[in-house]
Structures are given as C-alpha cells and as structure tokens.
C-alpha cells in the first residue's frame, strides 16, 4: 500500500511520472463529537507510511503527554493541530491532510463535530467528492449525524461511506451493525442520499481500515482503504456539458489572446463551437494551450488557456460553454443558503456574491423558510443565524451565467462576502432563475434625469445626513433646505421620523428592520434624483453597508455623505425627545448608541462637529460644499452668494 514500488530503486523518474498521473480523491470525514474522525485519519496516514521518523517520535511523545490511549499511539494527534483541540480532545478547525497509495492520491478534510462549527464542515465539504460519515457503534445515528448527512446531500456529494466505528466497544456485533445500517438508510431515504457504503470498523485497533478484519468475518465488503482506492468519481464532471469560468484574459502580445481557467465540467477539443456568457457571442475553439504545449483535448479539472478563431468580447468572470449545451443567464434566483457568520443575515443588505470567477453585488429577500435539519421541517424565518440553512430569493446587480447546483456544483455554487469586512458570511446553492425576471424590462423614457436637472438649473444629488439621535441632523438639514428653497432650488427633505409615519410604518428597530428602512429610503432617494431634485435625507442610518448601498444606487458626484459628528455624551445630554432616558431605563430596545451600534463614516464628503459649529454655520458650510462641487449652474453664483 505504501510507496514500495520497485521503480523507486530502479527508475525514480518513471516512478515520479507514474505518481504524477495518479487520480486524486478529495474526501471529508464528519460525524458527531468523539466518533473517532481524527483517529481514523491518523491511522490512514500511519498505515500509508506517510509519517516520517521525526513525526512518529513527536507522536510518541505527545501520546504519552496529552494522548488518551495510555502507552499506545494516539493517532488523533497527527491531525488535531490546534492546542485547543488537543486540550479538549475535539476537532475545531478543518484539518487538511495529503496522503497517497500506489493506486491513488488523497486529500482528506477532517471536519469538526460540534454543531457550532457546522460552517467549518461546510467549508471542507464544498470541494469533496466523497464523505466518510462516522458513527459510534455504541450510540448509533445521532442529531449531528443527521445534520452532517443532510449537508452532504445538500452539497451534492454522491459517494458516502458510513463508517460504523468503535466496533470493538460492542464486541464486534453484527446485530448492532445491522441495526445502525437500517436506521441510517431510513433517514438517508428521506433526504435523497444514495450510493451509500456501510463499513464496520475500529480506527483505534486498525480493523477494516486498510484490509479485511479477521475479527469480523461476517462482513464481506471492502475495507475503507480498498473502497477509497477504487470508487469512481473522475467521470462525474467529464460527462457534463462543457463549462470554463474565465479567470484571466492572457494577452502577452498583439498576436495572442487566450482565455485561461480551470475546466469546471465537460470535455473540449479544437473545432468545438463555444459560446461566451453572459454576452452570448460564439466562436470556434482553435487551440488548447498549456505550459507543456498544445493539447488535442482537455477535460474537467485541467487548467488551460483557450484561443478562438475570431475576436469576441470575453472578460474575467465570463463563462465559456458548449454552444449546443449552454448555461442559463439571469439576475434573480431562488437559492438555498447556509449562513456562516456570527452576525445574522439581514434581508435587504447588499453583499458581494462570488460564483466562479465572477463577483457581483447581491441583495437577499427575507428567507422563504429555514430548514430544521434534525426533523427536515420547513420553519418560518425573518433572518438566518449562524449555521442555519434557509431558502431565499437573490437579486443581483447584473446577469450571470449559471447552472442549477444539482446539475453543476462549480457553476451553481456561490459564497457571500461582507462588503466592508471581506468576511465570508454564507455559502449558497442556486436552484433556479425566477421567472419574474423575464417579465420585467427597463422602459426607456424620453425625459430623463439630465433634462429634468437642466430645467431646474441644478445637478440633482443626495445629501445624506447621518449621525446619532440628538446630533442635530434634522435641524441642520431643515436649515439647508430652507435656504436652498429661498433661492429657488428644487428640493425635498426625507426625515427619518416622518418617513416612519407612512412608507416605513410597518418597520420596527431591529437590525433587520433598520436595514430595510434604509433600503427603501435609498430607492426613494434615487427616484427623486432622477426627478432632478436636490434630495436631503436625514436618518441615523447606523450601518456603513446600507449607506454604501445608497451611494451605489447613484452616479458619480450624486451622493454626499454629511456626518453630523456629535459625541454620544453630548447627544445624550441634549436628548430632545427623551429617548436616551428611556433607553437607559430599559424601556426602549435596540436604541443606537446604547444597545445597538453606530458605525461612523470613514470618509464622508463633509464632517460637521456640532460641538464647534452652530446649526446655522453648519448649513452655510454644507451649501458652500455644494457650490464647490458644481451642483449649481455657474450663472447662479451671485444668487448663491446671498445665502
């Protein structure tokens, strides 16, 4: 099983060539806490002769120091690298390990068992071809077993090994093994999980790990290693339609233009007709270029550069597909989402969505439902918390090429990224495009924003006033509008309290409601700018992400963030509405500055310190900024000077 080939001594180059062309299997181990996942992987590494002498010496020392097996080797310590894991005897992070045999190379991800680390399990499973789900023979199918099995099914892993571990603790009982297998198959049928191989074993004792066990003669199936070496997965992606997400447009000189990326699925050969999506332009494949020369054909998993017979518009993030079997293109979807961040999903908040090599902006609706993975029940939900799974609608700022995840994991899977922190907050699976996207089209109008602004002798824009309650936003915004109006300017002021009496009267003050509050106001502001108005918006708008959303809805030079910078202590001292007093007394929940955060602007167009400037002087400074930014016609300079 280990690297004992005769070629090592006689033809090392031949051995290396043979090793290079072995197939690769990516698999994960998952299951409940203390089911023996790390021990199993440690045993596989040990039996594959991939533990070097210094590692073995360290393992022996660590086994005596922190191990759980007395004088015997504690194989789990080969994998559990984090100090916290060793101290607690559990796996927290995803541990990736490489090993190989004479027949195949492997990358295994040891994923955590605790429920709070489900997101780590999702990370490890996202690229796996096979899952080894461990069960403790004494405990059988547990809640976390069902959770991990559901995620394995959801992520489209089609090869599953149910490893019934610790058979030594039940005296190698065939009856107990059969009970667990029947119990697991009953649950697997509910979630559509097929292709299951059940193996009784003892990772600690090495039984049925690399060879058939003598103590369980009643089991006639393969050992775990025999199954891992022989399971066929390579053909899965090659049989699908051709897809290549373009990662790089290679243009070293004027005579060469190629499109580089890894083939996500299918096969390709010169002469095949390709289509670039989302543009829809088509061309014939001329060459398949690699570092080692041109190829007569290429298949899924290979990184190549493709050249075409004619120039068409292809950019990074586009997808080259088989013209006869194209992917779909859309900008609205229903998707299954696994939330992976401590901060909950906030419907209406913009996130970055990355699918393949394409990154776009996405907003999500409130979940249609979330899924109880223990009972498979669909439950109502307004948001998703850490490790929860739900179904949402997605709206993107542009169309993308995609396949439903069930058809292609590479072009149907995506991640969500927080736009400010760059944290990955969710992983999702595209189900289908929403038909309503096909029924809605942008209507071209002859009278546009520019003509409306010209008629009013002003450049339409938004003045977005943000700051704590009591900072003076509404007072200053009111003064600015009053002075502009007195000089014949066309304005409208959207005030936070006033809007909540009508448009947003249905919203409360939770984080999710605050996000929706600002999203609606931002959309209204865009319409008012389109009408040619100078639009003043006075909202606390505590989150940077939503203020950025408002900015992104408008063109360059149309959004001015006005930070009314008043310290919390001063705003609380003023307390014109008595809100801080109520918040301190616990009578007012989710109050910004007290029990809900305020994220101050980092680069506002103008900052007003109300401890230094009066409201009147602040208004003058804001109007002066508008003048400097060219919001008013130059012919009106003399009139503006009177302000």
Within this chain, do residues 200 and 300 fall inside the same structural domain, yes or no?
no
- CATH label of the domain that carries residue 247: 2.40.30.10
Cα–Cα dist 95/108, whole Å? 8
Q: Does the residue 87 lie in any domain?
A: yes
Measured in degrees and rounded to the nearest 5, phi and psi for residue 613 equal -115, 140
Return the pLDDT at 336. 94
* Mean pLDDT across 349-372: 91
Catalytic (active site) residue 541? yes
Q: In this predicted model, what pLDDT tens digit does every residue of 69-85 receive, in sequence order?
A: 656 666 666 555 433 43
Q: Does the residue 296 lie in any domain?
A: yes
Within this chain, do residues 56 and 130 fall inside the same structural domain, yes or no?
yes
Mean pLDDT of the chain: 85
Cα–Cα dist 32/624, whole Å? 64
Ramachandran class of 630: left when φ > 0, alpha when ψ lies in -120 to 50, beta otherwise: left
Within this chain, do residues 51 and 167 fall inside the same structural domain, yes or no?
yes
Return the pLDDT at 126. 80
Within this chain, do residues 380 and 490 fall inside the same structural domain, yes or no?
no
**β strands within 77-228, DSSP E:** 95-100, 104-110, 130-136, 159-165, 196-200
Cα–Cα dist 125/120, whole Å? 9
Q: Among the three residues 276, 294, 322, which one is the final residue of a domain in this structure?
A: 322
Residues 6+ apart with CB under 8 A from 498: none
Q: Does the residue 625 lie in any domain?
A: yes
Q: Does the residue 443 lie in any domain?
A: no
Within this chain, do residues 407 and 311 fall inside the same structural domain, yes or no?
no
Q: Among the three residues 437, 465, 499, which one is the final residue of a domain in this structure?
A: 437
Within this chain, do residues 315 and 432 fall inside the same structural domain, yes or no?
no
Residue 505 CB burial class (10 angstroms; 0-12, 13-18, ≥19) = exposed
Q: Say if CB 97 and CB 79 are below 8 A apart.
A: yes
Q: In this predicted model, what pLDDT tens digit does every residue of 6-49 receive, in sequence order?
A: 555 555 565 556 556 678 888 888 887 777 777 787 777 777 66
Within this chain, do residues 514 and 376 fall inside the same structural domain, yes or no?
no
Q: Does the residue 442 lie in any domain?
A: no
Number of domains in the chain: 4
Helix (H, G, I), strand (E, B) or coil at 453: helix
Within this chain, do residues 225 and 256 fall inside the same structural domain, yes or no?
no
Within this chain, do residues 275 and 416 fall inside the same structural domain, yes or no?
no
Q: How sure is the predictor about 643, in pLDDT bands with cuts at 50, 70 and 90?
A: very low
End-to-end CA distance of the chain: 87
Q: Say if CB 600 and CB 565 are below 8 A apart.
A: yes
Residues 6+ apart with CB under 8 A from 490: 456, 458, 532, 533, 534
Residue among 32, 541, 614, 638 flagged as catalytic: 541
Q: Does the residue 1 lie in any domain?
A: no
Kindly report the pTM of this predicted structure: 0.75
Within this chain, do residues 68 and 145 fall inside the same structural domain, yes or no?
yes
Within this chain, do residues 499 and 631 fall inside the same structural domain, yes or no?
yes
DSSP letters of 416-438? EE-TTT--EEEEEEEEEE-THHH
Q: Does the residue 113 lie in any domain?
A: yes
Q: Among the three residues 299, 322, 345, which one is the final residue of a domain in this structure?
A: 322
Within this chain, do residues 367 and 463 fall inside the same structural domain, yes or no?
no
Cα–Cα dist 99/185, whole Å? 30
* Mean pLDDT across 78-105: 58
Cα–Cα dist 50/42, whole Å? 10
Cα–Cα dist 62/83, whole Å? 12
Cα–Cα dist 247/357, whole Å? 6
- CATH label of the domain that carries residue 212: 3.40.50.300
- What stretch of H or E contains 43? helix 37-47
Q: Does the residue 606 lie in any domain?
A: yes
Provide the residue range defining the domain that includes 375.
331-437
């Amino acid at each position: 099983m280990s690297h004992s080939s005769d070629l090592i001594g006689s033809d090392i180059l031949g051995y290396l060539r043979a090793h290079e062309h072995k197939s690769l299997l990516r698999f994960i181990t998952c299951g409940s806490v203390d089911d023996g996942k790390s021990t199993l992987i440690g045993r596989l590494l040990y039996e594959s002769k991939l533990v070097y002498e210094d590692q073995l010496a360290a393992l022996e020392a660590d086994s005596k120091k922190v191990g759980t097996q007395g004088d015997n080797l504690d194989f789990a310590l080969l994998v559990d690298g984090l100090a916290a894991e060793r101290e607690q005897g559990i796996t927290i992070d995803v541990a990736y390990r490489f090993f190989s045999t004479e027949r195949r190379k492997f990358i295994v991800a040891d994923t955590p068992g605790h429920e709070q680390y489900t997101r780590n399990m999702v990370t490890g499973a996202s690229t796996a071809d096979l899952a080894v789900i461990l069960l403790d023979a004494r405990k059988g199918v547990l809640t976390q077993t069902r959770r991990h099995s559901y995620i394995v099914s959801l992520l489209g892993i089609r090869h599953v090994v149910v490893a019934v571990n610790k058979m030594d603790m039940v005296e190698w009982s065939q009856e107990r093994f059969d009970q667990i297998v029947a119990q697991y198959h009953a649950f697997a049928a509910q979630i559509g999980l097929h292709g299951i191989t059940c193996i009784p074993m003892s990772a600690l004792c090495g039984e049925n790990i690399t060879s058939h066990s003598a103590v369980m003669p009643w089991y006639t199936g393969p050992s775990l290693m025999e199954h891992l070496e022989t399971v066929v997965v390579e053909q899965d992606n090659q049989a699908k339609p051709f897809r290549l997400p373009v990662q790089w447009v290679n243009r070293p000189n004027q005579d060469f233009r190629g499109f580089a990326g890894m083939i996500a699925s299918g096969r390709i050969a010169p002469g095949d007709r390709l289509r670039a999506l989302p543009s829809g332009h088509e061309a014939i494949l001329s060459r398949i270029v690699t570092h080692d020369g041109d190829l007569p054909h290429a298949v899924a998993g290979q990184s190549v550069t493709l050249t075409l017979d004619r120039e068409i518009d292809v950019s990074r993030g586009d997808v080259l597909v088989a013209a006869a079997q194209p992917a779909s293109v859309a900008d609205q979807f229903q998707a299954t989402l696994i939330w992976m961040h401590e901060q909950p999903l906030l419907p209406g908040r913009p996130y970055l969505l990355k699918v393949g090599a394409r990154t776009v902006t996405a907003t999500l609706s409130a979940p249609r439902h979330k899924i109880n993975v223990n009972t498979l029940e669909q439950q109502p939900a307004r948001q998703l918390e850490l490790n929860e799974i739900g179904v949402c609608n997605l709206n993107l700022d542009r169309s993308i090429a995609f396949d439903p995840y069930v058809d292609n994991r590479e072009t149907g899977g995506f991640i969500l990224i927080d736009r400010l922190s760059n944290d990955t907050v969710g992983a999702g699976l595209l189900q289908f495009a929403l038909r309503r996207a096909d029924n809605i089209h942008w209507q071209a109008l002859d009278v546009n924003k520019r003509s409306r602004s010209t008629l009013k002798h002003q450049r339409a824009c938004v003045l977005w006033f943000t700051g704590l309650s009591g900072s003076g936003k509404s007072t200053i915004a009111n003064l600015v509008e009053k002075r502009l109006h007195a000089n014949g300017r066309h304005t409208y002021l959207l005030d936070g309290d006033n809007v909540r009496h009508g448009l947003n009267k249905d919203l409360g003050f939770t984080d999710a409601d605050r996000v929706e509050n600002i999203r609606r106001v931002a959309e209204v502001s865009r319409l008012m700018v389109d009408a040619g108005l100078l639009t003043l918006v006075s909202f606390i708008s505590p989150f940077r992400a939503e203020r950025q959303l408002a900015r992104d809805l408008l063109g360059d030079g149309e959004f001015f963030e006005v930070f009314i910078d008043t310290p919390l202590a001063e705003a609380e001292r003023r307390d014109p509405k008595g809100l801080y007093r109520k918040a301190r007394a616990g009578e007012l929940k989710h109050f910004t500055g007290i029990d809900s955060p305020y994220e101050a602007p980092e680069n506002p167009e103008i900052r007003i310190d109300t401890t230094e400037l009066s409201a009147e002087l602040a208004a003058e400074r804001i109007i002066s900024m508008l003048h400097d930014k060219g919001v008013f016609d130059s012919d009106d300079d003399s009139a503006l000077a009177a302000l």
